Structures are given as structure tokens and as C-alpha cells.
């Protein structure tokens, strides 16, 4: 999700993601149809019915491959998000601890300086 989308309400971001997914799928479907036509165009011995069946099967197979690939990418993105969130939480805790220790050191230094007078 982009920085601009992070500020949007979840419903809007979800809707935009769904539209992007739909458009991505339509683009891949069109590209797979074109690949199927190019394939059957080289098989000039096919009848019209055979050509249509080969194109249908090719398209079906290509869309299944695309779906598996996208599911793998989504799963990996979710894994990376979880990993990065954990790293962020750890870094945030460390920074907070450093700030608290630094503040305690400053307070201790000021207290020591005041008692020395």
C-alpha cells in the first residue's frame, strides 16, 4: 500500500485494491487470449472448432498459472509485512529505551550538578 493510501479510510483502500486487482486480471486475460491466438495461428491445420478449443484450454491454463503466481506473491507480501512490522516494533522499543536512558542520564547529571554546588 502506498503512503497516500495509508491515510485513506480502509474501505476506500480496499476498494481501490479490488479495482486494481480486477484491472490486472483483465490485462492478463487479454494477454493470454492474444498468446493463445498466436499459438493457434501457427497451427493452420486446426479446424475452427479445434482452434477455439485449444484457445479456451490455453486461456484456462494461463489464468490458473496467473492465479497461483499472484497468490504466491500475496502470501510473500504478507510474510514480509509481518517481518517488517516486527523489526519496526523492535526498533521502536530500542529507540524508546535509548531515549528513556538518555533522559534519565540527563536528569541524573543535572541532579549531580545541583548537589555539587
pLDDT tens, 9-41? Answer: 778 888 998 899 899 989 999 999 999 999 999
| CA distances, 12 to each of 9, 35, 42, 94 (Å) | 6, 35, 46, 34
pLDDT tens, 64-102? Answer: 999 999 899 999 999 999 999 999 999 999 999 999 999
Q: For residues 29 and 59, is the Cβ–Cβ distance under 8 A?
A: yes
**Angle (deg, nearest 10), helices 48-116 and 10-41:** 150
Nearest alpha carbon to residue 39 among 25, 63, 57: 57
The span from the CA of 111 to the CA of 114, in Å, is: 5
Amino acid at each position: 500500500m502506498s503512503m497516500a493510501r495509508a491515510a485513506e479510510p480502509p474501505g476506500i483502500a480496499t476498494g481501490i485494491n479490488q479495482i486494481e486487482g480486477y484491472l490486472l486480471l483483465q490485462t492478463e486475460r487479454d494477454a493470454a487470449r492474444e498468446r493463445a491466438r498466436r499459438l493457434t495461428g501457427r497451427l493452420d491445420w486446426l479446424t475452427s472448432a479445434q482452434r477455439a478449443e485449444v484457445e479456451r484450454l490455453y486461456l484456462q491454463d494461463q489464468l490458473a498459472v496467473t492465479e497461483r503466481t499472484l497468490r504466491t506473491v500475496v502470501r510473500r507480501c504478507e510474510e514480509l509485512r509481518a517481518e517488517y512490522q516486527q523489526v519496526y516494533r523492535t526498533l521502536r522499543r530500542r529507540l524508546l529505551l535509548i531515549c528513556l536512558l538518555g533522559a534519565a542520564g540527563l536528569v541524573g547529571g543535572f541532579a549531580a550538578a545541583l548537589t555539587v554546588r
